[in-house]
């Protein structure tokens, strides 16, 4: 437009922006493509490996995890049994790979339930405020006031301990904390001018939640969710120690550690408990690193002024 | 004037807070803006000017009073019609960064109003958004795919203006649109707003705390102090002969680039009293150099002292 074209002449793009924008990466969404680093890829690789193993456990060349081979009891690592066998002669690698299914389903499934319910309510409460927020927030406090482990133990003991029930119970238990994190993050965006502008344009609540708020809340939610998965994997271990994880012949990481710690096996064959504990340790570290790096990567720098 | 006024505000009252700690941000403000005119609204921080602007654009519900837009009180409309009607009232905000969703591309931000209301396919949406970006002096090919964090404050403000104009509003409420910008960029944005006002036949409510900015854009000016109007008049009258002592102090405070010009009286001292506990009578009396006993007892009404020039003061400049 000729009459206002002069106005288009350069407005000082602030020095900070200029300094940070890499010209060789014009597609860079934030102008700052932070390197994720080798550690991130290693950790992501490990998570991928565990997930791959859990999905294809049946197809992989592994012995039956419950097959008791009395000719190789308490065997150390060998070509035949890469991680050795336990006191009943069951292959430990196979038990760990099959056992990861329980940890992953409980972990990711539980968080998925928590995010679906807690996240949705958190967005709503954080945006709407007022009575909706007061009621939901109060309810979350009431649930949080229960010691979660105790609550889970009681429910599992009475209701049964199949994988599905375990996942559902842990998922429900994770709702209030996910609710609170997402509510708080949403609140920090709910009164920004771009949300007010969307309202002024006549956007529906649903649209504001999905298009304006969710993209801003998602990175924090994702990072917290990954840490939540890690917490649940540990929780499964705790439940197994109390004999409340999935019923026993079925391997789970918690169950294997539990078995490896019983019958004085820690003294005679500490490897049985070590391998699943190591797998758990690596998975938790990986989840934390990946969550943390992703959050840092997707953090938008807003300060152009 | 009130007949053809596009916007008329009557006795607007806005309370904040709960029962015991109630603060009245706006206490009985009335004004009207005729079509295609700009009303400047000035006052210091906390005088209630932004709150007034938010009520006018229906982002916030007033506690009392009415806001009429093109003759209808929008608060009486059912929710669905209100949603459609409010598209005719758009806002530009003070903070250019916070005004734009940091996660979305510029072109999508500008096209969003069309996406909300539908009826056009994506290609057409993008074309119209690109046209609008050009109209606000930005190159859609260069900036369209950027995100707000990569742009300067002035650029962001242009995008806010573009977004506000997509729905072809009749009234644009600008809430301190240039306060956060460098002075050189301020001028560019002000020129842009003036040009667009002509081009799209906009009526504007222009909120600012800088009288010079208001002078450059407005036809009439309203001065607010502690939730009330103290003076309302054509921009030339208000600048040449401000009647309310507060307006006079504001006008004096505008720097004039002339070293030989005599210093105009001492500046105002003190701060604005808390709106939670406003002074009796005239709200400005605690800082007014001309305050008399009557000012503490009786609140001066807003009276017309010249055609179209209203003042709320017992001792306006012309009578002293």
Q: What is the CATH number of the domain that holds B194?
A: 3.40.50.300
Judged by a CB distance cut-off of 8 A, whether residue A192 touches chain B is yes
Of B293, B268, B274, nearest in space to B282 by CA:
B293
Q: Is residue A24 part of a domain?
A: no
Is B266 contained in some domain?
no
Q: Which residue has the tokens 């709150």?
A: B51
Minimum mean pLDDT among A82-96, B61-75, B258-272: which range? Answer: B258-272
**Closest chain A CA to residue B81:** A202
- Give the range of the structural domain holding residue B29, as residue numbers without chain letter: 5-256+274-319
pLDDT string in tens for chain A (305-residue length): 344 444 444 444 444 444 444 333 344 444 445 567 888 899 999 999 989 988 887 887 777 777 777 776 776 777 777 777 777 778 888 888 888 888 889 999 999 999 999 999 999 998 988 888 889 999 888 888 888 788 888 888 888 778 888 888 889 888 998 999 999 989 988 888 899 888 888 888 888 888 888 888 888 888 889 889 989 988 888 888 888 777 777 888 888 888 877 877 777 777 778 888 898 999 999 999 988 888 777 765 544 33
In a domain, A9, yes or no: no
Note whether A200 contacts B103, CB cutoff 8 Å: no
Q: Is A302 close to B148, i.e. CB distance below 8 A?
A: yes
Q: What is the pTM of this model?
A: 0.78
Mutation for B interface: A7, A188, A217, most B CBs within 10 A: A7
Asked if the C-beta of A130 comes within 8 angstroms of chain B's C-beta atoms, the answer is: no
CA dist., res. B238 & res. B220, Å (int):
9
Tally the domains of chain B: 1
- Model confidence pLDDT, tens digit, residues B92-148: 998 888 888 888 889 989 988 888 887 788 888 899 899 889 888 888 888 888 888
- Name the residue in chain B with its Cα closest to that of A303: B149
Average pLDDT over residues B242-254: 85
pLDDT exceeds 90 at position B222: yes
Domain at A242, CATH number: 1.10.3720.10
Of B91, B97, B117, the CB nearest to A305: B97
Alpha helix stretches (DSSP H) within A89-213: 92-114, 120-128, 130-145, 148-159, 163-190, 193-200, 205-207
CA A30/CA A131 separation, integer angstroms: 36
Q: Which residues contact A249 (CB under 8 A, 6 or more apart)?
A: A66
Residue at B269 is within a domain: no
Note whether residue B265 is domain-resident: no
Chain A residue numbers with beta carbons less than 8 Å from the beta carbon of B156 are: 304
pLDDT in tens, B151-167: 888 889 899 999 999 88
B35 token code pair: 């079509």
- B151, part of any domain: yes
| Any domain includes A7 | no
Residue A292: CB atoms within 10 A of its CB come to 15
Please report the residues numbered 110 through 129 in chain B whose beta carbons come closer than 8 angstroms to any beta carbon of chain A.
112-113, 116-117
Nearby residues of B91 by Cβ (< 8 Å), 6 or more positions away? A196, A197, A200, B53, B54, B57, B59, B164, B172, B173, B174, B175
- CA A17 to chain B, closest CA, distance in angstroms equals 6
DSSP annotation of A38: H
Task: Please name the residue of chain B whose CA is at the shortest distance from the CA of residue A29.
Answer: B147
- Cβ pair A201:B101 closer than 8 A: no
A304 lies in some domain: no
pLDDT at A112: 94
Which token pair is B197? Answer: 């006002």
Is A287 a domain residue? Answer: yes
| Amino acid A18: pLDDT | 42
Q: Between the CA atoms of A199, A201, A205 and A206, what dihedral angle is there, to the nearest 10 degrees?
A: -140
Which residues make beta-bridge pairs with B24? B15
- Of B58, B69, B80, B152, which to mutate for an interface test with A (greatest number of A Cβ within 10 Å)? B152
| Residue A162 included in any domain | yes
Burial B154-179 (b: 16+ CB within 10 A, else e): bbbbbbbbbbbbbbebbbbbbbbbbe
Q: What is the structure's pLDDT at B2?
A: 44
A291 to chain B, closest Cα gap in Å:
19
What ipTM was predicted for this assembly? Answer: 0.83
pLDDT score, position B63? 86
A207 touches chain B (CB under 8 A): yes
pLDDT of residue B150 exceeding 80:
yes
**Closest-CA residue of chain A to B106:** A29
Tell me what pLDDT residue A7 has.
42
Q: Is residue B160 part of a domain?
A: yes
The answer as to whether B149 is a domain residue is: yes
> In this structure, what DSSP letter does residue A205 have?
H
Average pLDDT of span B243-260: 82
A31:B99 CB<8 A: no
| Res A110: pLDDT | 92
CB contact under 8 A, A194 and B98: yes
Query: How many other CB atoms are there within 10 angstroms of residue B23's CB atom?
Result: 15
Per the structure, the count of domains in chain A is 1
**Span B181-208, pLDDT tens digits:** 888 888 888 988 998 898 888 999 999 8
Is A200 at the interface with chain B, CB within 8 A?
Answer: yes
Its domain, for residue A258, covers: 85-298
């Amino acid at each position: 437009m000729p009459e206002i074209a002069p106005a288009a002449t350069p407005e000082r793009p602030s020095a900070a922006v200029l300094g940070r924008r890499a010209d060789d990466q014009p597609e860079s969404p934030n102008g700052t493509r932070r390197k994720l680093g080798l550690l991130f890829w290693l950790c992501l690789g490990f998570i991928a490996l565990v997930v791959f193993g859990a999905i294809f456990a049946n197809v992989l060349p592994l012995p039956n995890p419950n097959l008791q081979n009395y000719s190789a009891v308490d065997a150390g690592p060998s070509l035949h049994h890469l991680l050795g066998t336990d006191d009943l002669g069951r292959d430990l690698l196979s038990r760990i790979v099959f056992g990861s299914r329980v940890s992953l389903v409980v972990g990711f499934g539980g968080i998925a339930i928590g995010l679906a319910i807690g996240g949705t309510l958190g967005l709503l409460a954080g945006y709407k405020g007022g009575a909706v927020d007061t009621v939901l927030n109060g309810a979350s406090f009431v649930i949080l006031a229960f010691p979660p482990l105790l609550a889970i133990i009681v429910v599992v003991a009475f209701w049964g301990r199949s994988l599905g029930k375990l996942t559902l119970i842990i998922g429900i238990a994770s709702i209030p904390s996910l609710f609170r994190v997402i509510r708080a993050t949403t609140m920090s965006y709910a009164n920004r001018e771009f949300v007010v502008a969307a309202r002024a344009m006549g956007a529906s609540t649903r649209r504001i939640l999905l298009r304006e708020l969710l993209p801003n809340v998602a990175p924090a939610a994702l990072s917290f969710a990954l840490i939540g998965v890690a917490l649940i994997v540990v929780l499964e271990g705790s439940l197994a120690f109390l004999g409340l994880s999935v019923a026993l012949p079925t391997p789970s990481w918690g169950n294997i550690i539990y078995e490896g710690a019983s019958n004085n096996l820690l003294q005679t064959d500490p490897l049985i408990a070590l391998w699943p504990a190591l797998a758990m340790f690596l998975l938790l570290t990986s989840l934390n690193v990946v969550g943390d790096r992703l959050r840092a990567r997707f953090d938008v720098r807003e300060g152009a002024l | 004037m009130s007949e053809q006024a596009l916007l008329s505000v009557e006795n607007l009252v806005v309370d904040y807070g709960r029962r015991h700690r109630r603060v009245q941000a706006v206490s009985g403000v009335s004004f009207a803006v005729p079509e295609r005119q700009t009303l400047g609204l000035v006052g210091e921080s906390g005088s209630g000017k932004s709150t007034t602007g938010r009520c006018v654009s229906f982002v916030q519900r007033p506690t009392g009073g009415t806001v009429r837009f093109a003759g209808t009180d929008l608060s009486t409309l059912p929710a669905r019609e209100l949603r459609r009607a409010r598209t005719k009232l758009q806002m530009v905000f003070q903070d250019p960064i916070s005004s734009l969703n940091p996660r979305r591309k510029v072109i999508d931000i500008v096209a969003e109003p069309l996406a909300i209301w539908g009826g056009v396919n994506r290609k057409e949406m993008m074309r119209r958004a690109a046209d609008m970006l050009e109209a606000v002096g930005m190159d859609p090919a260069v900036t369209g795919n950027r995100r707000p964090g990569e742009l300067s404050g002035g650029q962001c403000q242009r995008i806010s203006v573009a977004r506000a104009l997509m729905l072809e509003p009749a009234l644009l409420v600008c809430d301190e649109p240039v306060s956060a910008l460098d002075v050189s960029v301020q001028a560019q944005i002000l020129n842009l707003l003036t040009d667009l006002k002509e081009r799209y036949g906009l009526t504007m409510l222009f909120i600012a705390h800088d009288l010079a900015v208001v002078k450059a854009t407005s036809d009439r000016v309203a001065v607010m102090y502690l939730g009330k109007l103290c003076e309302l008049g054509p921009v030339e009258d208000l600048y040449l002969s401000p009647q309310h002592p507060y307006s006079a102090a504001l006008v004096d405070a505008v720097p004039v680039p002339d070293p030989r010009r005599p210093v105009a009286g001492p500046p105002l001292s003190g701060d604005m009293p808390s709106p939670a506990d406003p002074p009796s009578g005239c709200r400005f009396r605690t800082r007014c150099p001309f305050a008399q006993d009557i000012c503490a007892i009786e609140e001066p009404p807003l009276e017309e002292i010249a055609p179209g020039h209203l003042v709320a003061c017992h001792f306006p400049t012309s009578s002293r």
